Structure 1
């Protein structure tokens, strides 16, 4: 007899798509807040508010704190990599003039790095078909954002220099390392208490970096800034990051990372809806190629034999 999918099964099936949409809004959110605050100052505020928001959730749901001191340390390292280094690099790169779309393209290379590292570090075997999917995903991302990389009448690096590129590459390393570290060392970590530790560690890092660099900590509390802050704290730091932690616990690291190939196309789509940044035929074709690549990469792999 045919069976009807339960609400829980439908929710689980929808989680990857929901994550992609939520994560994509992070690059858009940067456009709202950076004109009114320096990046490190904003991220320190964002991380601190997120940690505070998770505390009543932990208390009401009686979530378990890490049972071992080592697990506290692993959660803190994950926070420094997955939140601190990644977001600091992206926001600083955008602050230094890099287009948000190009920043998303650079960090969109994460699935390739994750796939290469997941084999020796996590024992995950990647098939030739999945390697082909990773290549297609990258090709799709390049097609979608090709015009942003080389706009008519402009050079690739017009408006920003190599420092902006370097910090975005640093962000790419941070999110790749954070994804692998989370999968390798934090499987026994409750995502609710883990979020408090991770965002707490990220707050300390951002405050330290802001003080060391002498960043201006003044914030202009405009309606646009408040909207961006609330969105990035509640929707991104709470909603999307929680989804990422759950997805990492449910699947292989390389498979989850392949979802990030869809972030640049979805970011471009949201930018079109909000800011009238139009997508041409090449960009639309790139979206289709990226989706196909993700579908190919998402096949299950067998662990390597011991």
Structure 2
């Protein structure tokens, strides 16, 4: 089951970069993102108000406020940088590759922030993955011309936003139903992107069928598939394990981009894919060391509600 979840996560998360490129051909980033989230947020809100009332049981205003912050970082901030970079001409594969540096930042911060310490073997895997990212990024950047150098810095901002959202969510003491979290996140993004689109005078959607095909792709595969599975895998497998899978996003996206948009895919890209696969195998085989605080009574805290490992009991 975990293997299937991981495979589904990699495929559906990488589909978001492809969907972003599909939408970029028809509309601006904020227009695409507005129409990706506004109808979805309305549908989720209607479902939550009727059959989904149990999702909110036991949640406080503080819990919902935390989810608004998570949604603003992991959806609004992250996706805006991805879409804007692709709109500027950065290839979908390169954007995914730059985002692939996320595991190194998350691995370095997991110990002091979550008490989830990365083992030596897992650090080896993370470094292998970073090498794969570097190999494919240099190959892709060399094959693409006419893109401003600063445009390649934009996806780094999105990567940092996603890392921040992951830590905010992982430190939460309250278990939030996945559909409740998704509803809050999508509603937050709908407000943010609608406001940006209105301010830019770009709220009107294109009438081209290809635009709505891109929206359907993004809602079905990327939001419910990739984004939903990200949090599920995080809770089941832990932060280091889910971030190791992020190393596969760039090579998989590069394959998609080559097949759908004739983006470059050469020997170095294949080498990067091999390094990414090796990194995931090494990280998954290495145990993560956790340090648990000890209560004054000398007893270890109960597992109930403990989320320092990124899992629920």
Flag whether TM exceeds 0.5 (same fold).
Answer: yes
The more displaced of 73-82 and 91-100 is 91-100
Whether the aligned pair in 2 keeps the contact of 1:103 and 1:168 (CA below 8 Å) is yes
Q: State the TM-score, normalized to the length of structure 1.
A: 0.88
Quote how far apart the aligned CAs of 1:141 are: 2.0
Among 182, 195, 206, the alignment partner of 2:193 is 206
Q: Which residue of 1 aligns with 2:282?
A: 296
How far apart are the structure 2 equivalents of 1:281 and 1:269? 12
* 1:43 is aligned to 2:29: no
Structure 2 counterparts to residues 115-134 of structure 1, below 5 A: 115-134=107-126
How far apart are the structure 2 equivalents of 1:207 and 1:54? 17
Whether the aligned pair in 2 keeps the contact of 1:50 and 1:238 (CA below 8 Å) is no
Among 148, 157, 181, the alignment partner of 1:160 is 148
Quote how far apart the aligned CAs of 1:242 are: 1.2
Among 26, 30, 36, the alignment partner of 2:20 is 30
Q: Which residue of 2 aligns with 1:5?
A: none
Quote how far apart the aligned CAs of 1:262 are: 0.3
Whether the aligned pair in 2 keeps the contact of 1:187 and 1:249 (CA below 8 Å) is no
* 1:181 is aligned to 2:171: no
How far apart are the structure 1 equivalents of 2:174 and 2:241? 16
How far apart are the structure 2 equivalents of 1:286 and 1:91? 23
Among 206, 216, 231, the alignment partner of 1:245 is 231
Whether the aligned pair in 2 keeps the contact of 1:38 and 1:217 (CA below 8 Å) is no
* 1:197 is aligned to 2:200: no
Unaligned regions of 5+ residues in structure 1, if any? 1-9
How far apart are the structure 2 equivalents of 1:285 and 1:38? 34
How far apart are the structure 1 equivalents of 2:142 and 2:173? 40
Q: State the TM-score, normalized to the length of structure 2.
A: 0.86
Q: Deviations over 1:23-49 (max 9, x none)?
A: 111111112111222111221221222
How many residues end up aligned between the 2 structures? 290
Among 36, 52, 55, the alignment partner of 1:64 is 55
Quote how far apart the aligned CAs of 1:277 are: 3.6
Change (3 A) 1:53 1:257: farther
How far apart are the structure 2 equivalents of 1:176 and 1:249? 15
Question: Per the alignment, in what secondary structure is the counterpart of residue 218 of structure 1?
Answer: coil
How far apart are the structure 1 equivalents of 2:194 and 2:176? 25
How far apart are the structure 2 equivalents of 1:92 and 1:183? 28
Unaligned regions of 5+ residues in structure 2, if any? 294-313
Aligned-residue RMSD, C-alpha: 2.0
Q: Which residue of 2 aligns with 1:105?
A: 97
